[in-house]
Amino acid sequence: MQRRQQHGFTMIELIVVIVILGVLAAVALPRFTNLQRDARIAKLNAARGAVNAASAMVFGSAVARQNQVQPACAGFGTPNVNLAGNGNICTQNGLVNVTLLYPSSNLGGVVAAAGLIQAPAPTNALLQAEGYSTAGVAGGIQVQVTGGSAAATCSFNYLAATALGQAPTIASVVTTGC
């Protein structure tokens, strides 16, 4: 009796392979589509870290320069920090507005200090080009990452210091709209 060699796959084998591929696609596809959200969350966390570090660095610089005569900041003006802890300090990004020895809660303060954009005078248009936006909140500014379902809920708040030498509050990130 002569046996015939098989020259292909049976119908059952093909169906099993198709089912396995379908299960893999159902599990893996949502994870791949979630990469953009993960990237926005990472960008938001990076911005919060930059704001936190810049706030501490500006504080140290403002304390050291408080009520001291300083040379002009090349192309940006003259820095000054008065006894009340208000004024401007010179950084590599230009002048940074200082309130109570910490970056002010505006574009020229915390956004300029953190270097979210590489420009001596940050504007909303420049922030938009980098995927950020800001909004005013009671006592501070909200830094948002755009591109998600709702920028207001892909954000963190920087609340200005309320007394001389008291640190500002940098709130946890909110990622529901990323």
Q: Is residue 106 part of a domain?
A: yes
Q: Is residue 114 part of a domain?
A: yes
**Tell me, what's the pLDDT at 70?**
84
Tell whether pTM > 0.95.
Answer: no
**Tell me, what's the pLDDT at 4?**
67
CA distance 44 to 57: 20
- For residue 112, the enclosing domain spans 38-170
CA distance 58 to 63: 8
Q: Is residue 28 part of a domain?
A: no
The residue type at 20: I
Question: Number of folded domains in the chain?
Answer: 1
Least-confidence region, from 73-77, 132-136, 148-152: 73-77
CA distance 162 to 142: 17
Q: What is the pLDDT of residues 97-142, one digit of tens each?
A: 999 999 999 999 999 999 998 887 889 999 999 999 999 999 999 9
Q: Is residue 49 part of a domain?
A: yes
Whether the predicted pLDDT of 165 surpasses 80: no
Q: What mean pLDDT do residues 7-16 have?
A: 86
Q: 160 pLDDT band (50/70/90 cuts)?
A: very high
**Tell me, what's the pLDDT at 76?**
79
- C-alpha distances in angstroms, 83 versus 12, 32, 89, 96? 83, 54, 14, 17
- H/E/C letters for each residue in the chain? CCCCCCCCCCHHHHHHHHHHHHHHHHHHHHHHHCHHHHHHHHHHHHHHHHHHHHHHHHHHHHHHHECCCCCCECCCECCEECCCCCEEEEECCEEEEEECCEECCCHHHHHHHHCCCCCCCCCHHHHHHCCEEEEEECCEEEEEECCCCCHHHCEEEEECCCCCCCCCEECCCECCCC
CA distance 95 to 89: 5
Number of neighbouring beta carbons within 10 Å of residue 52: 15
Q: Is residue 94 part of a domain?
A: yes
Q: What mean pLDDT do residues 46-63 have?
A: 94
Q: Of 164 and 93, which is predicted with more confidence?
A: 164
**Tell me, what's the pLDDT at 91?**
84
Q: Is residue 175 part of a domain?
A: no
CA distance 25 to 121: 47
Q: Is residue 105 part of a domain?
A: yes
Q: Is residue 16 part of a domain?
A: no
